[in-house]
Amino acid sequence: MKWRCPQCGKPHERNDPPCENCGHHSFERAVVPEAPEADHDSFVWACSECGRTHQRNNPPCSRCGAGTFEKQPLEYEEFDTSTRGYLGLIGRQELAAFGLLVALIAVGILGFMGVISIPGLTPQQAPTVENVPGNATVAEGLSLADVETAYLEGLNDRREAAGSAILERTDTLGAVATYYNQRRVKSVSGAGTRPTGEELGERFDVQCRGAIYELGPVPLEGVSSESSSALGDALATEALAGETDAFGSTATRTGVDFHYGPDGRLFVTQIVC
Using a cut of 0.75, tell me whether the model's pTM lies above it. Answer: no
- Cβ(147)–Cβ(258) under 8 Å? yes
Helix (H) or strand (E) holding 219: strand 211-219
* Structural domains present in the chain: 85-123 (no CATH), 138-272 (3.40.33.10)
Residue 98, CA distances (Å) to 91, 92, 94, 110, 263 in order:
11, 10, 6, 19, 63
Q: Is 22 exposed, middle or buried (0-12, 13-18, 19+ CB in 10 A)?
A: buried
Angle CA 39–42–46, to nearest 5? 155
- Contact (CB, 8 A) for 239 and 228: no
**Cα 118 to Cα 8, 206, 267, distances in angstroms:** 56, 20, 37
List the chain pLDDT tens, one digit each, 273 residues: 478 888 887 888 888 888 888 888 887 876 545 444 444 457 788 888 888 888 788 888 878 888 888 888 866 555 455 545 555 555 666 667 777 788 777 766 665 555 555 555 444 567 888 889 999 999 888 899 999 999 999 999 999 998 999 999 998 899 999 999 999 999 988 888 888 888 888 888 777 777 888 887 888 776 665 588 888 888 888 888 777 678 888 899 999 999 999 888 899 999 999
Work out the number of other CB atoms within 10 angstroms of the CB of residue 82: 5
Give the phi and the psi of residue 92 in degrees, each rounded to 5.
Answer: -65, -40
Q: Which residues contact 261 (CB under 8 A, 6 or more apart)?
A: 133, 134, 185, 188, 189, 217, 267
Structure confidence at residue 32 (pLDDT): 46
Cβ count near 150 (within 10 Å):
20
Tell me how far CA of residue 222 lies from CA of 6, 219, 272, in angstroms: 109, 9, 31
Do strands 168-169 and 253-260 pair parallel, antiparallel, or not at all (unpaired)? parallel
Count Cβ neighbours within 10 Å for each residue of 31-56 and write b for 16 or more, e otherwise: ebeeeeeeeeeebbbbbebeebebeb
Paired residues of 260 in beta bridges:
135, 266
Q: What per-residue confidence (pLDDT) applies to 80? A: 52
